[in-house]
């Protein structure tokens, strides 16, 4: 069984990105810039933003965090996004979610210029991804995809089962796997026989939010299992996959923590660099 080391893969990706930033700097005499907007005082959001800022600086990007109190009005945020859209030193804009209730998430997402949408949430990027065109891809599924490709570079004809159909994870994951010629089944809370569906998968990606939902006898031998879930339980943080059981049958599996999580931020940096390159083009 291969334990997929997300920390190591993320560190390797950051090293590659660091080199790329240096090359871009010598070519364009400037570096890609990531601007994050953080609204309110939610502890997990503050931690995520701090980690994003630290990683961005580590690879040599220009990094900026704009902080607003929970009470900030929607217009102020939208105006700031428009200002950043017009700022040539900003390659990527990310508004940390969740937002306070009085701020319309969709309006915020649609105000970000698609070419600076490092999260890949803008409808134009969602459409481009599903049409197979160049686009920003949401960071977590992109990280999962890169981990899968490390284990199995040729995914032609593989049967993939995606558990969960969120816009953040399940749907973009499905599009990435389709692009690689997988036969993809996307499952959700109304799926009749989830175990039966999982048993058909050469690859299973679980992005649900239910601790240890995917059991050992749901997985056939030699399956690659990617666990996106982050669930706080009495025994600590666990994924959506029953790790102990599944690791006995799977060909390869991501641990939680230390699997998909570290790749998410590394992919945000990758997306910022991709946005910069597309703007230069």
> What are the residue numbers of the active site?
52, 96, 119
CA–CA separation, 163 and 208 (whole Å): 7
By C-beta, is 17 or 24 nearer to ligand NAP? 17
What is the 8-class DSSP label of residue 210? S
Stretch that binds ligand NAP, among 72-80, 123-131, 195-203, 228-236 (CB under 6 A): 228-236
Cα dihedral angle (97, 267, 158, 241), rounded to 10 degrees?
A: -50
**Residue with the two structure tokens 């010598």:** 26
CA–CA separation, 179 and 34 (whole Å): 28
Least Å from the CB of residue 264 to ligand NAP: 4
DSSP string across 91-135: -EEEEPSSPPTTS-HHHHHHHS-GGGBTT--SHHHHHHHHHT-S-
CA–CA separation, 136 and 172 (whole Å): 11
The interface mask with ligand NAP, positions 237-266, x = CB under 6 A, is -----------------------xx--x--
Least Å from the CB of residue 254 to ligand NAP: 9
CA–CA separation, 280 and 174 (whole Å): 30
Residue 231 within binding range of ligand NAP, rule CB under 6 A = yes
Least Å from the CB of residue 82 to ligand NAP: 27
Select the residue interacting with ligand NAP from 27, 75, 101, 190 (CB under 6 A). 190
By C-beta, is 168 or 225 nearer to ligand NAP? 168
- Tokens, residue 242: 């029953």
Residue 194 within binding range of ligand NAP, rule CB under 6 A = yes
Q: In this structure, are strands 33-39 and 62-68 parallel, antiparallel, or unpaired?
A: parallel
The interface mask with ligand NAP, positions 112-151, x = CB under 6 A, is ----------------------------x-----------
Stretch that binds ligand NAP, among 88-96, 111-119, 127-135, 207-215 (CB under 6 A): 207-215
Residue 6 within binding range of ligand NAP, rule CB under 6 A = no
**Residue with the two structure tokens 């959700």:** 188
236, β-bridge pairs: 233
Interaction site with ligand NAP (CB under 6 A)? 140, 163-166, 168-170, 187-191, 194, 207-210, 228-231, 260-261, 264
């Amino acid at each position: 069984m291969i334990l997929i080391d997300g920390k190591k893969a993320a560190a390797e990706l950051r090293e590659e990105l660091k080199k790329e930033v240096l090359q871009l700097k010598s070519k364009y005499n400037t570096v890609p810039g990531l601007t994050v907007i953080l609204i309110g005082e939610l502890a997990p959001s503050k931690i995520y933003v701090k980690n994003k800022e630290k990683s961005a600086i580590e690879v040599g990007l220009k990094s900026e965090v704009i902080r607003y109190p929970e009470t900030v009005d929607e217009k102020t945020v939208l105006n700031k996004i428009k200002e950043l859209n017009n700022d040539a030193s900003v390659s990527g804009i990310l508004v940390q979610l969740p937002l306070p209730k009085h701020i319309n998430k969709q309006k915020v997402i649609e105000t970000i210029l698609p070419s600076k949408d490092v999260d890949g949430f803008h409808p134009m990027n969602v459409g481009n991804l599903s049409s197979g065109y160049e686009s920003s891809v949401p960071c977590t599924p992109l990280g999962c995809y890169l981990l899968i490709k490390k284990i199995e570079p040729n995914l032609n004809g593989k049967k993939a089962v995606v558990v969960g159909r969120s816009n953040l994870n399940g749907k973009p994951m499905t599009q990435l796997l389709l692009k690689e010629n997988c036969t993809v089944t996307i499952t959700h809370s109304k799926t009749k026989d989830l175990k039966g569906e999982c048993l058909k998968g050469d690859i299973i990606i679980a992005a649900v939010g239910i601790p240890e939902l995917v059991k050992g006898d749901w997985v056939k031998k030699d399956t690659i299992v990617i666990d996106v879930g982050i669930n706080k339980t009495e025994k600590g943080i666990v994924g959506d996959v029953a790790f102990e059981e599944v690791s006995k049958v799977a060909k390869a599996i991501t641990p939680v923590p230390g699997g998909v999580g570290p790749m998410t931020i590394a992919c945000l940096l990758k997306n910022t660099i991709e946005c910069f390159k597309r703007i230069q083009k």
